[in-house]
Structure 1
C-alpha cells in the first residue's frame, strides 16, 4: 500500500479531536490504572496528585502510546499500564518543575506547591515516579523498562541542563536544543516507541515511532516557548511571560539577543538576570522578538520539526490512526496561531 505524503499546514484548524475519538475507549482503561495507582493510605498523596492529574491536561503522552499501538495493529492491553506509567513520569516532572520554577499557575489552576508547599510536591512527585517504575516492572519487558527508565534519566539531565543555563543569555542554540530534546522530546519519543515494542514490530518501526515522538516533542516545546511571549494566560494555562520573568533563555531570546543592537543585548542581559521583569519590560521584550524575526523564526523551526514528525510516519499505511497522529502534529504547531 502506498502511503500518502502529508504536508504540515495543509488543513485548517487542526484538532486533537480525531485522536481523542480514536483512543477514547482505551483511555478509559488507562485512566482506571492511573486512579488505582494514585491510591495511598496517606491522604495527602492522592489529594495532591489528583489535583494535577485532574487539572484539565489533555493526556497527550499516554494518548500517543495508545494511538501508536493502534497504528501498529497491537491488540493486547499491556500498553494501558505503560501509558499510565508515561503519565506518572510526566506528572512527577511537572510537580518538580513547578517547585524549581516557583510557578503559581498550571493549566490555569494554582500549582500544587502553592497549595501544599514545596516539600509535599517534591515527595508526591517521587511517589509518582515510583509508581511508574512499578508499572514498568510489572510489564515484564526489559526493553520497555530500558526505554522508559532511560527517558526518565534523560529528562532529569535536561532539567539540570536547563537550570545551569538559566539567566545565561549567552546560551547557544545547540545547548537549547539539547535541553528541550531531553526535558520534553525524550518522553514523547519513549511514549511512542514502546507501542512498537509491545506489538513486537521490527526495529525500523520502533525507530520511526521514536522519530515521530521526538520531533513532535521538539515542535511542541518550540511553540510553548514562543507563545510565552505571544499568547494569554487562558490559552497557555500558565502565567503570561513566566519564562521571561524566570530568566529562561529559550530560542526566541537566543535569536533576538544575537540579532540585537548593543542596547538590545544589554536589555536582554538585564532581563534574564531578573532586573527587568515589569509588564512594560515584557512588552518591550515581545517587541524586540517581533522586530528581529525571532518569534517568526522559532515558529518556522517548529513547523520544520513538525514536518519531520509527519514524515516519520511515511512507512505506515494510511488509516484512522495515522490520520489522527498527523493531525496531532498540526494541532501542536497551530496552537501559536
Structure 2
C-alpha cells in the first residue's frame, strides 16, 4: 500500500468536505439576516447566529476516535514488545524504544492541537456573537461581516490539516518503522507452504470462502481488500464456520489492519458523512473504513493467539490490501467439510495450480 496514495486520498476527502462546509456558510448568508437569527420569536426553530455557525463548524467532526483508538492500541503493543525481550535483538529493542519516544511526542501534540482548536473556537465564536448582537434592525447584513465568518472557517481548516499531518507522520514514522520489525517476526512464525508436510503442525493465513469455486476464482482479483484469519493445527475457527478457502502469506506491504477479533472493516465510497482520517486508501474511488477499537497494524502473532485463549469459536481478522503482490499460494479444506465444498476446493487447486491442504 502506497503511503503517499494513502495520504493524498485522505487529503482529497478532507478538502472536499471542508469545501462543502464553506458552501453551507454561503447558504446561510443567502437566506438569513441578523434580526431573523437573533430575535425571531415566531420561528419554530429559533437559532442565534452563533448556533447556526456552530452547526456548520460541527458538520465535520474534528477528533477521529477510530484513529486515536488505533494509536493508543499501538502504544499498548509497544509496551508489550518491550516486555518480550527474548523475541527481539538489542538493536530491535533500541529501535522500538526510539519509536515509542516519537509516538509519545505525537500523542502529546495531538492532544495539544485539540485543546488549541477548542480555545480558538471559543474565543472567536464569542467575538462573533457580540458582533451580531449589535444588529437590532432589519439592516442588510454586509459582506464585511460574512467575510469574518469565512475567515474563521479558513483558520479552522488549518487545524484539520495539522491534525491530518500529525496522523500522516504517525503512519510514516511509527506504524511503518514498527511494521518492518514486527513482520520479520511473522515471517519466522508462519508456515512456509513449500516446506510443509501433511500432518505437521502449521500456522496459515487463510481467506475463508462462502461461495462456489467459479465465483471464488473471479473474486481473487476483483476485490480490493481481503479478510483473512490466522489458523493453526490446534485452532482454526473461521468467520461463519466456513469450510474451505485460499491460503495467503502476510507481509509488511499487504497487511492493513489486525485484530484479535473482528475489525469491522468495509470498503466504502464517498457519502454525505465525513469518514474521518482513519480511512485507508484502497482504490481511486474507494477507501477502507473500520470501527473496532482494538485494531492496529502491528501485533505479534503470540498476542493475537493469547487474546483468543478460552474463546473456542473466536476468530481473528487480518485485512489485506489486494495489490499485485497479494495472490493465493494454496487452497485449504476442512476434513469434515461437505462434499460440495471439497469438490470446490479441488477445482480451485487444479485450475489455479495451487497446493491443496486438508485440515482437521
For the criterion TM > 0.5, the same-fold answer is no
Normalized per residue, the structure richer in strand is 2
Q: What TM-score results when the alignment is normalised by the length of structure 1? A: 0.25
Higher-Rg member (1/2): 2
Normalized per residue, the structure richer in helix is 1
Q: What TM-score results when the alignment is normalised by the length of structure 2? A: 0.24
Task: Report 1 or 2 for greater relative contact order, CA contacts < 8 Å, sequence distance ≥ 6.
Answer: 1
